[in-house]
Chain A
Amino acid sequence: SAVISQKPSRDICQRGTSLTIQCQVDSQVTMMFWYRQQPGQSLTLIATANQGSEATYESGFVIDKFPISRPNLTFSTLTVSNMSPEDSSIYLCSVEDSNYGYTFGSGTRLTVV
């Protein structure tokens, strides 16, 4: 299965600042997905990132708050902008695996103070 390297693994950030999370995949993939997991909650899809086009955002998520880049078929970034304590969550990237599953990165644990 695909191997995803996600970083940073954790960060503590001041409110009002921005954090960019990176995901690197060891193989070329068409779609990459970004999820948020709020404390004690399940995963919610933020957006789907295709190479060469703008990301598609789910209801409740907007590009100004969560800009995404997808410069090539193995890499994507998610930026959490103008952070507030409510943005404290685990952020995970994911790719569709050829074996009918979806592989996830190890996650970025973000704390906003």
Chain B
Amino acid sequence: GEDVEQSLFLSVREGDSSVINCTYTDSSSTYLYWYKQEPGAGLQLLTYIFSNMDMKQDQRLTVLLNKKDKHLSLRIADTQTGDSAIYFCAEIPFTGGGNKLTFGTGTQLKVEL
């Protein structure tokens, strides 16, 4: 079956913006999520977007949603070294019973000084 796809790796300089991209599978997915996983830690919910929105901003985070292309992105403004982590997008496919998160492959963000 299809996978939720992400670029594996992104490197940015401190203070620059980071953009992490995700292509999801089900155009009927109601909610789409971004999670952060720091080394040795569990998953932290960063933000989510409802499918009837095309943009959501929360402090340094901006989520853009293109339903036509099933494309989701997370922009982190003024990226800091503490943002270094793996970022996962996730969807709840309608075909999966309505409550099962399907995760992307994860993008490792490295912030350099």
- B is a partner of A: yes
Neighbouring A residues of B99 by C-beta, 8 Å: 31, 48, 96
The 8 Å CB contact of A109, one of B40, B103, B106, is B40
Chain A binding surface, main DSSP class: strand
Residue interface bits A1-36, CB-to-B below 8 A is 1, else 0: 100001000000000000000000000000101000
Neighbouring B residues of A42 by C-beta, 8 Å: 88, 103-106
* A102:B105 contact, CB within 8 angstroms: no
User: B13 at interface (Cβ–Cβ under 8 A)?
Assistant: no
* A105:B42 contact, CB within 8 angstroms: yes
Residues of B in contact (CB 8 Å), total: 21
Residues of A in contact (CB 8 Å), total: 23
Interface centre among B42, B50, B104 (most CB of A within 10 A): B42
User: B33 at interface (Cβ–Cβ under 8 A)?
Assistant: yes
Question: Which chain B residue lies CB-closest to A42?
Answer: B103
* B41:A107 contact, CB within 8 angstroms: yes
17 contacts across the A-B interface (CB closer than 8 A): A31-B99, A41-B105, A41-B106, A42-B105, A43-B103, A44-B103, A45-B101, A48-B100, A92-B42, A94-B101, A96-B99, A100-B50, A101-B45, A102-B33, A104-B42, A105-B42, A107-B41
